[in-house]
Amino acid sequence: MSTFDLAEAVLLGILIVTAVAITRARSLFVAAMLGGLFSLVTASLFVLLDAVDVALTEAAVGAGISTVLFITALALTNSREATTPRRRVIPAGLVAVLATAGLVYASFDLPGVGDPDSPVQTHPITDTYLRESQEDLHVPNTVTGVLASYRGYDTLGEVVVIFTAGIGVLLLMLGPRRPADEVKDRAYLQTEYRVLRVVSKTLMPFILLFALYVLLHGEYSPGGGFQAGVIFGAGFILYTLMFGLAAVQRVLPMRTLVVLVAVGVLIYAGVGVATMALGGGFLDYNEFNPGNPSGGQVAGILLIEVGVGVTVAAVMVAMFYSLVRRGVRR
């Protein structure tokens, strides 16, 4: 058994145990924290499976943002779960067992993990993305190249989905509420622990600097707009948890955030319109520098990554703000 197999088996084992513990935990706080652990272990597994860009995103989103999101939800609802009635357990368990059996049976037709002759590896597009991209784009990180250039339309669609989800949360959370039972202006989620306050304050500039590095160096090392956006968002969420909404809103007010949510999408789509104005197709970055197409590609990719980063970061922070504000005003 190689080191890879051993490490993979251990991580998958931890995941199974964590997942079972999550479904069994009656305290939702425990379930949310275990969910953070689940995501962190998954991120390690992604590194092992060569997906470093994905690992970066999963670590920031799964272990950071979504854990905080669930805990905020618990603060606004109930943190204990009612016991699951038996009439629900048996049919659900039966469906899960049967579906697992079906999937395992179907997996016999799949090529083995890491098989060099699998259709994924022998398809001509693999060669385009890994070899020809170096001629077309001169972007060593092929994940960034494929994301921003070859599949630029697709990524624009994803950014619009994030934009729409962000608007949805704002509409749901900032709307009118029922008359409040009691108005409590308590310092929401703030902590009295000095160590945490000092550490988070010291870390803040480094988190933001790292986010910028991940954004601007994403063509050469793991990184890009999505990763930078979630790291940036996680930094601001950490700061809000420690120092409260009022402190962070002096730097980044809600009004600015709402504008930024749209600005990112507009930058992305604007790059597409600009390339059309220059005589090319939508998102055809070659037009930025007709004499040196790969130079135009590098510029275009960087621009749209900035757009992605702005929208993702703004949506993450705006969603968190709106949830916390609902708590403060209740």
| Positions 21 through 50 that interact with other proteins (CB under 8 A) | 22-23, 28, 31-32, 35, 38-39, 42, 45-46, 49-50
Rg (CA), the chain: 23
Stretch that binds other proteins, among 137-145, 187-195, 248-256, 266-274 (CB under 8 A): 137-145
Q: C-alpha distances in angstroms, 271 versus 139, 149, 192, 268, 282?
A: 19, 12, 46, 5, 8
Among 6, 10, 165, 209, binds other proteins (CB under 8 A): 165
Instruction: Compute CA 195 distance to the chain's CA centroid, rounded to the nearest angstrom.
Output: 28
120 touches other proteins (CB under 8 A): yes
196 touches other proteins (CB under 8 A): no
6 touches other proteins (CB under 8 A): no
Nearest residue to 236 (alpha-carbon basis) of 319, 162, 171 = 319
19 touches other proteins (CB under 8 A): yes
Q: How far apart are CA 225 and CA 230, in angstroms?
A: 9
Least distance from C-beta 192 to other proteins, angstroms?
A: 26
- Among residues 67 and 286, whose Cβ is nearest to other proteins? 67
Q: Could you tell me which residues are beta bridge partners of residue 27?
A: 80
Nearest residue to 163 (alpha-carbon basis) of 294, 251, 45, 258 = 258
Instruction: Compute CA 272 distance to the chain's CA centroid, rounded to the nearest angstrom.
Output: 24
**Structure tokens that stand for 221 in this block:** 């090392």
264 touches other proteins (CB under 8 A): no
Q: What is the dihedral of CA 251, 185, 174, 240, to 10 degrees?
A: 30
Site for other proteins in 206-225 (CB under 8 A): 220-222, 224
Other Cβ atoms closer than 10 A to 122: 12
Least distance from C-beta 204 to other proteins, angstroms?
A: 21
- Among residues 94 and 187, whose Cβ is nearest to other proteins? 94
Stretch that binds other proteins, among 12-20, 207-215, 263-271, 297-305 (CB under 8 A): 12-20
CB 123, CB 197: distance < 8 Å: no
142 touches other proteins (CB under 8 A): yes
Site for other proteins in 67-96 (CB under 8 A): 69-70, 72-74, 76-78, 81-82, 84-85, 88-89, 91-93, 95-96
Q: Could you tell me which residues are beta bridge partners of residue 80?
A: 27
Stretch that binds other proteins, among 101-109, 246-254, 264-272, 299-307 (CB under 8 A): 101-109
Least distance from C-beta 141 to other proteins, angstroms?
A: 5
**Structure tokens that stand for 90 in this block:** 């048996």
3 touches other proteins (CB under 8 A): no
143 touches other proteins (CB under 8 A): yes
240 touches other proteins (CB under 8 A): no
305 touches other proteins (CB under 8 A): no
Nearest residue to 261 (alpha-carbon basis) of 127, 327, 133, 171 = 171
Stretch that binds other proteins, among 126-134, 207-215, 250-258, 298-306 (CB under 8 A): 126-134
Q: How far apart are CA 264 and CA 270, in angstroms?
A: 10
Site for other proteins in 271-300 (CB under 8 A): none
Among 3, 124, 135, 178, binds other proteins (CB under 8 A): 178
Q: How far apart are CA 193 and CA 219, in angstroms?
A: 40
